[in-house]
Amino acid sequence: MKSIGSLRVVPFAHPQGCCGYLVADPSSKEVLALDPHLDFVHDMAERVKAEGWTLRFVVDSHTHADHPSGAGALAAQLGAVRMAGEKAGHAGVKTLLKDGDAIRLGQQAITVRYAPGHTPDHIVLIAEGALFSGDSLFIGGVARTDFLGGDAGRLFDTIHALLAELPGETVLFPGHDYNRHDASTLEQEKRSNPWLQLASRDEFAAKLAANPPPRPANMDDLLRLNREGVNIPATISAKDAVRFVEAGGAYSVIDVRTGAEYAGEHIPGARLIPLDQLETRLDEVRAVPAPRLMLCRSGGRAGLAKQALGKHHIGGVTVVEGGIGAYASAGGKTVKGTSVISLERQVRIAAGCLVLLGVLAGAFLHPAFMILSGFVGAGLVFAGVTDWCGMGLLLAKMPWNQVAVADAAPAHGGTCAASLPGGCAAGEPAADSCALPASDGK
Ligand SMILES: [Fe+2]
């Protein structure tokens, strides 16, 4: 928690590079949540309760195109009022904010500034000694403006108006940080942010328009989720999964089968995280853009994976019905390698062998061996009822089911999204643009 003037700020950082904040007035114990990623909802709610605060408002600075907003879920959970800029048009937003509005937390006033550029609906919040810049000015960077009606010239105007209005010691709290910066001030940014060395609006706009980073995966689906407040479904049909992946969601597929099954056939770009490794690789899951499609052979293990992630409060997860077989049958592209016996078939073979062994040994050696058959039968019933199969998990660990994860994993790493400019950030301006020619800006 950081003390800024008489307010307290609790930052939340996501491996995808998204930043959200709780802004609290300690006197009144009233708090505002800004830009809650869906994955922040649990932690933000728990923090509010632990501090004895009252969540009054949940604000989205703009329509997010790179991650699912948790604003609706958080506001519903704690009975807060949702707010967004007057041009946002999000379903469920009660209060539309315009330039100059004040959001009151006790005796504190947080000022709203209309701040277009990244998107036309963008607002920033100004508190005593702090700028919550959303996707406008970042630490060492600026937001991209190449989609959703973005306008680089307006972003230039927005940023420079804020720099002119606010003192240099104002602490910057950006909507994204892809490089795990600790903190910055406007004065520091004026000195070191390469985009702020560009004094010419036209040059800034030209540099920003040149060489934009790749668009966020699943952008259309995320926009629909964030605008319409549609819940991410628990399951998705194989046909919809094909449409989703082909629309750019390939990096959001998490395959929870064994390495050997993955090597036999997988969706291009799917990330392999076998079910038995899920608990130790949660950060990799968080780093993969949501909605996340969980895939296995038939849907059973993907369902277990969804449950396991739910226990760790990771949302934005949907199970592909029918698994990779249904996906391929629905026309989805897959990559085939050396085929292996699926884990389900291995379970059937192993269980059948044990039952047969028990019967034969019981008939010819000693009747007590029948217990083995009964035990396996009971285990199969248990697996059928609970959808949890210990034999399957055991077989998944066998050497023939292991393929070096590094070999099987796609070249795209979900965790790389946190360390590379992407999502809503622009890349660095071209090297020759960072320093102005002597004749410029004088
Ligand atoms: Fe954004």
Give the tens place of pLDDT for each residue, 259-300: 888 988 999 888 999 998 999 999 888 877 777 899 999 888
Mean pLDDT (whole number) for 36-45:
93
Q: Tell me how far the alpha carbon of residue 20 lies from the centroid of ligand 1, in angstroms.
A: 12
β-pairing, 19-25 vs 7-13, is antiparallel
pLDDT at 411: 33
pLDDT at 409: 39
pLDDT at 427: 63
233-269 per-position pLDDT tens digit: 889 999 988 988 887 654 579 999 988 889 889 998 8
Q: Tell me how far the alpha carbon of residue 243 lies from the centroid of ligand 1, in angstroms.
A: 24
Q: Tell me how far the alpha carbon of residue 121 lies from the centroid of ligand 1, in angstroms.
A: 11
Band (pLDDT 50/70/90 cuts) for residue 136 is very high
Q: Tell me how far the alpha carbon of residue 378 lies from the centroid of ligand 1, in angstroms.
A: 52
| pTM score, whole prediction | 0.72
138-153 per-position pLDDT tens digit: 999 999 998 888 999 9
Q: Tell me how far the alpha carbon of residue 242 lies from the centroid of ligand 1, in angstroms.
A: 26
pLDDT at 439: 33
Beta-carbon count within 10 A of 380 CB: 17
For 230, residues 6+ apart whose C-beta sits below 8 A from its C-beta are 224
Higher-pLDDT residue of 310, 111: 111
Give domain limits for the chain.
2-209, 219-340+396-419, 343-388
Structure tokens at 165: 């209005």
Q: Tell me how far the alpha carbon of residue 123 lies from the centroid of ligand 1, in angstroms.
A: 11
Amino acid at 330: A
Residue 429 scores a pLDDT above 90: no
28-38 per-position pLDDT tens digit: 999 999 999 98
Backbone φ and ψ of 50, nearest 5°: -60, -35
pLDDT at 217: 62
Asked if 396 contacts 274 with a C-beta cutoff of 8 angstroms, the reply is: yes
pLDDT at 415: 23
- Residue written as tokens 């076998």? 274
pLDDT at 27: 95
Q: Tell me how far the alpha carbon of residue 141 lies from the centroid of ligand 1, in angstroms.
A: 13
Q: Tell me how far the alpha carbon of residue 408 lies from the centroid of ligand 1, in angstroms.
A: 32
Same fold: 2-209 with 219-340+396-419: no
Amino acid at 64: H
Measure the CA–CA gap between 228 and 83, rounded to whole angstroms.
15
Residue 420 scores a pLDDT above 60: no
Structure tokens at 347: 């379970």
Q: Tell me how far the alpha carbon of residue 134 lies from the centroid of ligand 1, in angstroms.
A: 8
Q: Tell me how far the alpha carbon of residue 118 lies from the centroid of ligand 1, in angstroms.
A: 7
CATH number of the domain located at residue range(s) 2-209 in this protein: 3.60.15.10
Higher-pLDDT residue of 428, 323: 323
Mean pLDDT value across the chain:
85
For 58, residues 6+ apart whose C-beta sits below 8 A from its C-beta are 32, 33, 36, 71, 74, 75, 80, 81, 82, 83
356-384 per-position pLDDT tens digit: 888 888 888 888 888 888 888 888 888 77
- Spell out the CATH class of 219-340+396-419: alpha beta
Give which of 326, 311, 310 is closest to 236, Cα–Cα.
326
Q: What percent of the chain lies above the pLDDT cut of 70? A: 88
Q: Tell me how far the alpha carbon of residue 119 lies from the centroid of ligand 1, in angstroms.
A: 8
Q: Tell me how far the alpha carbon of residue 326 lies from the centroid of ligand 1, in angstroms.
A: 34
pLDDT at 230: 67
Measure the CA–CA gap between 356 and 280, rounded to whole angstroms.
37
Q: Which residues face 271 on adjacent strands?
A: 254
Residue 393 scores a pLDDT above 80: no
pLDDT at 384: 77
Q: Tell me how far the alpha carbon of residue 228 lies from the centroid of ligand 1, in angstroms.
A: 17
Q: Report which listed range, 87-96, 98-107, 254-263, 345-354, is most confident.
A: 98-107
Any idea what the Cα angle at residue 226 is, between residues 221 and 230, rounded to 5°?
75
pLDDT at 404: 53
Give whole-number Cα distances, 356 to 341, 362, 393, in Å: 20, 10, 22
Measure the CA–CA gap between 8 and 124, rounded to whole angstroms.
18
Mean pLDDT (whole number) for 95-109:
95
Q: Tell me how far the alpha carbon of residue 424 lies from the centroid of ligand 1, in angstroms.
A: 5
Measure the CA–CA gap between 37 and 24, rounded to whole angstroms.
18
Q: Tell me how far the alpha carbon of residue 176 lies from the centroid of ligand 1, in angstroms.
A: 8
Measure the CA–CA gap between 143 and 164, rounded to whole angstroms.
19
Amino acid at 143: A
Residue 88 scores a pLDDT above 70: yes
